[in-house]
Chain A
Amino acid sequence: MKEQLHLDADSLNAFVEGVLSEHERAQCLAHLAECARCRDIVFLAQDVPVSPAVPIPISARRRWFQPIPLLAAAAVCVAIIGTWLYLRSGPVERPQELATRVAQAPLSPPDNRVEGPAPKPVIPEASASARLRSPELPTQNPPPAPVTSPEPPRTAPPPAPAETARSKDSSATQTATPPPLQPSAIVAQTEVVPAGISGTVTDPSGATIPQATIQLRQLAGNGTTNARTDRSGEFKFSGLAPGQYELQITAPGFRQTTQRVEVQPQQMAAVTARLEVGSMAETVQVEANASVVQTQSSQVGRSKKAVPLETPPLPSKLPTRIEVKSGKIMLSVDSAGALFFSGNSGKSWKAIKSPWTGKVVSLVTPPTLTQDSKALFQLTTDSGSVWLSQDGRRWYPVRPPR
């Protein structure tokens, strides 16, 4: 029999993870087209994302539900019939009793038990209602404990019957008055918080860079996704598959930066990219480990998305790229790198006739340079020259130190 050469585990893994160079990938594909064994390994070695374990409350609920679907239907029927009977009979005492209870326990949560059909004392009625409603409720105690001793003196003392019922008969209370957030809490537990990358893009002085372009590329794949930083220089990619990604960050007047980030399942990788001033053609390779932000809580998952800037009222009609404020004085740099001045907090704008050549790439207040203690603003142009101003209108260059 003809001897056959196979790819080793390392090459197969590199192929599966998409980290092979083009020529190596082509060779692997050519072999895989021929070799059923290696194809089997490739398909088997795929890292198929495993869905998270189903939380216990859900499974308990399902277990509780599955054997007795008819009981649930019967409970609904009984509730409907009971409501109908109640509306027909119209008991006179119940509104008064309800009013008394509400007056005695003003802080108790709204209780639907008043709609219950049985004309019995309050607590036993609540228990009966609990039994009827239990299929819809969370099942921390899946089979609701039957209330066998409906003794009014013990379970309904005069001061606060509802509260007493909760404290004395815990099983009945848990099923009858569930915490209103429980169903959504279950949903939150089963929801998979998407993995992603969020971060901030800043210039060398630490000022954020709006409208920087971020190109995201998964190293194991071919596709790319683009985003822009918002007004505060932040960006976010969510719903990413776990794996290695490459971020390519570009902004006019800054050197392009590439950063690699590893995205873990259900975690948000945080990235801070600091761009160096330079021409568009220059590229800086940055290797950094991104810190990982826990996103198990839904609050973190709802963080701000990269939002494109609104059209600002600048005379150039171009979007604002940088905006700084000191008192009522506001300075803005549009996407073309032109500087604008406003002395009334942005109500009206005036273009600044620039003594420099080129575009403004960075604008900060207060200045990071300490040559002039009275200077309020500092800007950097794409040619690297730095300018200071005390009022935002008159600018003078910073002489490089000798």
Chain B
Amino acid sequence: MAPPHFPDRPSSAPTAEGVKTIGGILTPELHFKELSGLEIHVLWREAEADSVDLGKGELATMLLTLGVKYNYGLPPGIVATQPQIAGFWRSLQLRDLALAHSCALGRETAWQQFMTRYRDALIQAAIGITSSAASGRELADSLYADLFGLTDRGGQRRSPLAYYSGRGSLIGFLRATLAQRNVDHHRRTVRETPLPTHELRAVSSGTTPTAETLSRLSQALSTTFGGLAAEDRFVLSAWFLDRRTLLEISRVIGVHEATVSRRLQRLTARLHEGLLESLQASGLSKAAAEEALATDPRDLDVNLRLLLQASQPGTFPEQGLDTDLRQT
């Protein structure tokens, strides 16, 4: 069968919200020339978009919108070249992307495919996340209803599938969505439960630190924690605050658990050294700095959790991820 003709430029301009304003520079229209009729035809075939009733124009609009939204995977401010643009599109999970967006548009054929491919996987993932068959099914069913687009916003059917970008797999996106809902539900429930009150026995310390020492120590802690890299702070948070295992942390950052263990050792040693240096730099002698480090943490007016998780300037310096973030 001869491939259907697709014009070099789609007849309808993309109208995705927020796309034209990102960065004020890149808009999908500017990149229409990059998406020639031949290329969209190839991508359309790779995405098997025909099988889910997704037209070439719709796919082209979607790809251009995603490209602008994520600046073709490049840091903000860098203008993507033709090979980089093509590489970005080809790196997407095109089949999953076409299916998800066709489902979000309410196409019956797409929903049939979605049911066949993901219904059981969704339930299994939910059961795995909740560790309970009943809760898992309940969670999966609630998400499934939302995916179908029952939520109505401004007279338009909105499905979470419309937020799928195709960078990861669709099943991974569904799993993350399930996890998100489960965590939110859990945190809502836990907030209503009173925390257990443990009265810790005070550790006898030789001398009570002076207010000046405590102030210096607080300052040193802020400086030392602030100088850590994002991944190091993530590892420390996951290990000390969330009490995750080495294996869990290693899976997330993609290294061996022995590497995580070594990194934790190195980080704690570096923190100790950093604190000593900061204290000595503030005018304490080495012995006094060592003594200050032996201070009972309960005497400190410092919240280590807040310190470790304090927002660093430049955490989100670019606007590229602004559209990824949702206010809660």
Chain A: residues with CB nearer than 8 A to chain B? Answer: 3-14, 16-21, 23-24, 26-27, 29-37, 39-48, 50, 220-222, 285, 287
Residue from B238, B254, B327 within 8 A of A39 (CB atoms): B238
**Please, could you name 10 A-B residue pairs with CB atoms under 8 Å apart, sorted by A?**
A5-B326, A8-B325, A9-B163, A29-B231, A33-B230, A33-B236, A37-B187, A40-B179, A41-B179, A47-B172
Contacts of B327 in A (CB 8 A): 3, 5
CA distance A32 to B234 in the complex (A): 6
In the complex, whether B227 has a CB less than 8 A from a CB of chain A is no
In contact, A10 and B328 (Cβ under 8 angstroms): no
CA distance A282 to B90 in the complex (A): 20
Question: What band does the interface of chain B fall in when counting residues whose beta carbon is under 8 Å from A?
Answer: 35 or more
Contacts A8-B326, A45-B175 given; indicate if A33 touches B237 (C-beta within 8 A): yes
User: How far is the CB of A220 from the nearest CB of chain B, in Å?
Assistant: 7
Contacts A14-B167, A40-B183 given; indicate if A33 touches B173 (C-beta within 8 A): no
In contact, B315 and A9 (Cβ under 8 angstroms): no
Residue from A16, A20, A29 within 8 A of B172 (CB atoms): A16
Contacts of A8 in B (CB 8 A): 163, 324-326
| A-B contacts, CB under 8 A, total | 154
Q: Helix, strand, loop or mixed for chain B's interface?
A: helix
Contacts A21-B73, A27-B315, A50-B128 given; indicate if A9 touches B180 (C-beta within 8 A): yes
In contact, B163 and A10 (Cβ under 8 angstroms): yes
User: How far is the CB of A248 from the nearest CB of chain B, in Å?
Assistant: 15
Contacts of A33 in B (CB 8 A): 230-231, 233-234, 236-237, 308-309
CA distance A36 to B244 in the complex (A): 12
In the complex, whether B26 has a CB less than 8 A from a CB of chain A is no
In the complex, whether B16 has a CB less than 8 A from a CB of chain A is no
In contact, A29 and B234 (Cβ under 8 angstroms): yes
CA distance A230 to B230 in the complex (A): 44
CA distance A3 to B328 in the complex (A): 7
What is the chain A residue whose CB lies nearest that of B163?
A10
Contacts of A31 in B (CB 8 A): 315-316
CA distance A58 to B58 in the complex (A): 52
Residue from A11, A17, A39 within 8 A of B237 (CB atoms): A39
What is the chain B residue whose CB lies nearest that of A43?
B248
Contacts of A5 in B (CB 8 A): 316, 325-328
Residue from B74, B172, B242 within 8 A of A13 (CB atoms): B172
Cβ < 8 Å to A, chain B residues 143-164: 160, 163-164
